[in-house]
A and B are shown apart, each in its own frame.
Chain A
Amino acid sequence: MMNSSKPILRVQDVTKRFGGLVALRKVSLDIFGGEKVAIIGPNGSGKTTLFNVINGVYIPDEGRIFYEDNDITHKPPNERARMGIARAFQIPRPFPGATVRENVAIGALFGRFGHKISLEEALRIADEKLKLVGLYDKRDELAAKLTGPERKMLEFARALAMSPKLLLLDEIMAGMPPGKVDQIVDLIKEISEKEGIAVAVMVEHVIRAVIRYAERVYVLDRGEIVLSGSVDEVMRSPKLREIYLGTRFREV
């Protein structure tokens, strides 16, 4: 375990509104170095907005975001990426007209060590990450030709190529066949433990997977953190059943 005592990411009282809709209301959370956190919540609870605020796609209306003790609230996404925040989108967005290999190489070229990495090295890193996620055989295909699950794995590889310290995975397991979900969970555990990457995964449906990999859980509901703690605490909480599982996952 490479958990450090200081949070790598601190989200402090963040509020984000879209017109009259409050997408996030006074959300605070900490993620420690090397930690594996799950952020769960039903559809529309503000999970993706939270990621967008963390990586700079949105600027919050209120509150602050600290990354390694720096206030990054107003930093643009490209600077945050170079500081070590990488993200895989809920709906995968590979560069369709680039090859699979080029997609991942771009991650290496512009990620945390991007400025030190030559094109040859970036392509080598791309091959390595593609082997990891099982897409090496398709490296010369255009990304547009990949299937849905393959695109998810490509995004994952691309994010890994950026050598992040904090990896944000938005619904990476959704729509994946069950066998693949276990494989992804193992992969997340492996890279997190081997390279000390803090991983935050957004999950809507695959609760079983959360139990397997996460050390801590935050529950987001209608833009607010309503529950947080260790997996055991959260999963056993009657409140969770009430607000989340109670209505949607009675049988789980």
Chain B
Amino acid sequence: MGLREVLIKHLTLIILIVIYVILWLLREVFPEYSQLIITLLYYITIAQAYNIFLGMTGYVDFGYVSYFGLGLYGMAVAITLSSSSNMSEYIAILLGILLALALANTVAGVVGAIALRLRGAYFAIATIGLSQALRYLIEGAKIWGGAEGVIIASDLRKIFGEERFSYATITLPDTGIFILTVISGLVMYVVRNSRLGYGLLAIREDEDVARVMGISTTLYKFIAFLISASLTSLVGSMWALKITAIYPPESFNIAFSVEFIVIVMLGGAGTVLGPLLGGSLYALSKYYLGTILPGLQLTIFSVLLLVIVLVFRQGIVGELRSLLYRYSFIREVIR
């Protein structure tokens, strides 16, 4: 296969990565929009991570915020520990990443092993209580500072030094989030075009038939679930460095799960480009609606969700693809 064929074959991925890089560079050009762009990347990345599970399997997880929250706590706890034992900054960050992954995978492993045996709506119901349970567990049992939360600003100052504090809370996490944006896009693309992706597609379309056709449905759902939770926890670990104060109610807020369900559906569940469009549109409108009509943005989004579910069930990318399906080139690219 020549270079041209390879480029055409993977054009979707190339477009995706190019847009990500452009977004990242815009941040350098317009420093005043830097945090808006990072917020955009943050939405895109978590949506893409969630897409690997929700979009590919069709399973709605209301507990999804938990993996982000565990990522926040993983990094925060690691920073606190590193600060008190005088570890270097690299070890501290690495420890935070590993702890975020370990916590998210442990909880996702337990939840998945139990709840993924359930179908569709039952799975959704089973996951509703997870984030609340974690929140009250942390508060009630006074784990990780309980309701007081974990404040890491002074620990970061100690580990990184005063002069590198802005590196630790801006440059490092922003770069980390950008890298995760690229990774999540890449993972989604690879999964979609793999044996795992075909299995998940079958599960989403008809799980009973998928089983009759030889797919180990529970295992496949489980793998997608862990990949998804891992990526989200990594975003959480970077986000902790930005916000430097982690509290249970904000970390395990179910509204956050709902927000990402809307984004994935808006962009087009199971599509590679969906989270980019859904995430950008959502983040931008939330940002501007928040200044124009503060407090009303959630009302507007609930109407939006209704419209998506009733009229545009395939989301932006899905509908666009259906509309232009007869053009084989566009069909190959918009997916």
Residues of A whose CB lies within 8 Å of any CB of B are 55-57, 76-79, 81-82, 86-87, 89, 93, 95-98, 102, 105-107, 109-111, 114, 119, 122, 140, 142, 158, 162
| CB neighbours of A142 from chain B (8 A) | 325
Q: Which residue of A lies closest to B209 (CB)?
A: A93
With most chain A CB atoms within 10 A of its CB, the pick from B210, B212, B215, B328 is B212
In contact, B201 and A95 (Cβ under 8 angstroms): yes
- 29 pairs of residues in contact across A and B, judged by CB atoms under 8 Å: A56-B212, A57-B208, A78-B214, A78-B215, A81-B212, A87-B212, A93-B209, A95-B201, A95-B202, A96-B205, A96-B206, A97-B201, A97-B205, A98-B201, A98-B205, A102-B198, A105-B198, A106-B199, A106-B201, A109-B198, A110-B199, A119-B193, A119-B194, A119-B195, A119-B198, A140-B328, A140-B331, A142-B325, A162-B214
**Contacts known (A102-B198, A109-B199, A119-B194); A78 close to B211, Cβ less than 8 A:** yes
Number of A-B contacts (CB under 8 A): 72
| CB neighbours of A89 from chain B (8 A) | 209
| CB neighbours of B211 from chain A (8 A) | 76-78, 81
In contact, B213 and A106 (Cβ under 8 angstroms): yes
| B217 CB within 8 Å of chain A | yes
How distant is A71 from chain B, measured CB to nearest CB, in Å?
Answer: 19
In contact, B217 and A95 (Cβ under 8 angstroms): no
Report, nearest first, the 7 A-B pairs whose CB atoms are least far apart: A81-B214, A95-B205, A110-B214, A77-B211, A82-B214, A77-B212, A78-B211
Residues of B whose CB lies within 8 Å of any CB of A are 193-195, 198-199, 201-202, 204-206, 208-217, 325, 328, 331
Determine which of B193, B206, B331 lies in contact with A95 in the assembled complex, contact meaning CB atoms within 8 Å: B206
Contacts A102-B201, A162-B214 aside, 20 further interface pairs with beta carbons under 8 A come to A55-B212, A56-B212, A57-B208, A76-B211, A78-B213, A79-B214, A93-B208, A93-B209, A96-B206, A97-B204, A97-B205, A98-B201, A98-B202, A106-B199, A106-B202, A106-B213, A106-B215, A107-B213, A140-B328, A142-B325
Q: Is the interface of B mostly helix, strand, loop or mixed?
A: helix
| CB neighbours of A79 from chain B (8 A) | 214
Within the assembled complex, what's the spacing in Å between the Cα atoms of A114 and B214?
A: 9
Q: Which residue of A lies closest to B205 (CB)?
A: A95
| CB neighbours of A107 from chain B (8 A) | 213
**Contacts known (A98-B205, A140-B328); A57 close to B212, Cβ less than 8 A:** yes
| CB neighbours of A55 from chain B (8 A) | 212
In contact, B217 and A78 (Cβ under 8 angstroms): yes
With most chain B CB atoms within 10 A of its CB, the pick from A86, A96, A110, A158 is A110
Q: Which residue of A lies closest to B58 (CB)?
A: A97
| CB neighbours of A93 from chain B (8 A) | 206, 208-209
How distant is B196 from chain A, measured CB to nearest CB, in Å?
Answer: 10
| CB neighbours of A122 from chain B (8 A) | 198
| CB neighbours of A56 from chain B (8 A) | 212
Within the assembled complex, what's the spacing in Å between the Cα atoms of A93 and B211?
A: 13
Q: Which residue of B lies closest to A84 (CB)?
A: B214
| CB neighbours of A162 from chain B (8 A) | 213-214
How distant is B202 from chain A, measured CB to nearest CB, in Å?
Answer: 5
Within the assembled complex, what's the spacing in Å between the Cα atoms of A97 and B213?
A: 17
Within the assembled complex, what's the spacing in Å between the Cα atoms of A114 and B208?
A: 18
Within the assembled complex, what's the spacing in Å between the Cα atoms of A57 and B193?
A: 29
Within the assembled complex, what's the spacing in Å between the Cα atoms of A107 and B198?
A: 10
Within the assembled complex, what's the spacing in Å between the Cα atoms of A76 and B208?
A: 11
In contact, A95 and B209 (Cβ under 8 angstroms): yes
